[in-house]
Amino acid sequence: MKKFIGILLLPIFLVSFSTAEIQNNKRLSNGSPLNIPTKIDTTGARQFWDALSKHCGKAFEGKIVSAPAGDDFRDKRLVMHVLSCSTDKILIPFNVGDNRSRTWVLTLKKGIIELKHDHRHADGASDKITMYGGSTSNSGLPTLAMFPADEETATMIPAAATNVWWITVNENVFTYNLRRIGTDRFFSVSFDLTTEIETPEASWGWEDYTHPTKE
């Protein structure tokens, strides 16, 4: 008898469950909030992105850690300016003395960060060699992102096919680094994030840049 009653109650349970599911879907389609936990992105890439975004709008002075002999970065004032930050793009002009031709362009998409080097002339026109760089091969670490040269870079600058760039960031220091694998070429510059400086002039070609509206 108990078994028979259980069989009779099973269809009623299934109908009740389906009805509740339909009602939930109706509430969702009507815009009513449902008690569904929100998934938080805790990947290394997202933590790295958030750590860098904390410095948005600020400028910092840097110093050469290592550079090839005769490099024109030496004895120049080095300034980075975290110009703009959004959920998927960060712009960082990098000025070398009076040369304001360089802007680092970081893009975040599906847990992967891309680094590109935007180079301009003083009139704002793009340099012949521009937008080279690479993308992280995995979600990375909260304080480190590595960017092996991509195919576009290898085609544009064959000698840079083995380039690996990396950026580190923590509460005190930001570093930008380049190693050309198979050679002795190594470049590294470090910026003190504990001491903010005056905002520099806009990079060439970015004078009329409008910050994206925050969501």
Tally of CB atoms within 10 A around 104 = 20
Segment 82-135, tens digit of pLDDT: 999 999 999 999 999 999 999 999 999 999 999 999 999 999 999 999 999 999
pTM assigned to the model: 0.79
Tell me the domain boundaries of the chain: 1-36, 44-192
In the chain, the largest separation of any two C-alpha atoms, in whole Å, equals: 94
pLDDT attached to residue 4: 44
Instruction: Return the beta strands (E) in 73-185 as ranges.
Output: 78-81, 84-85, 89-96, 99-109, 112-119, 132-135, 144-148, 163-169, 173-180
> Whole-angstrom Cα distance, residue 201 to residue 203?
6
Segment 60-89, tens digit of pLDDT: 999 999 998 878 888 899 999 999 999 999
CATH of 44-192, one of 3.40.50, 3.10.450, 2.40.128, 2.60.40: 2.40.128
Share of the chain above pLDDT 70, in %: 79
Q: Is the pLDDT of residue 189 over 70?
A: yes
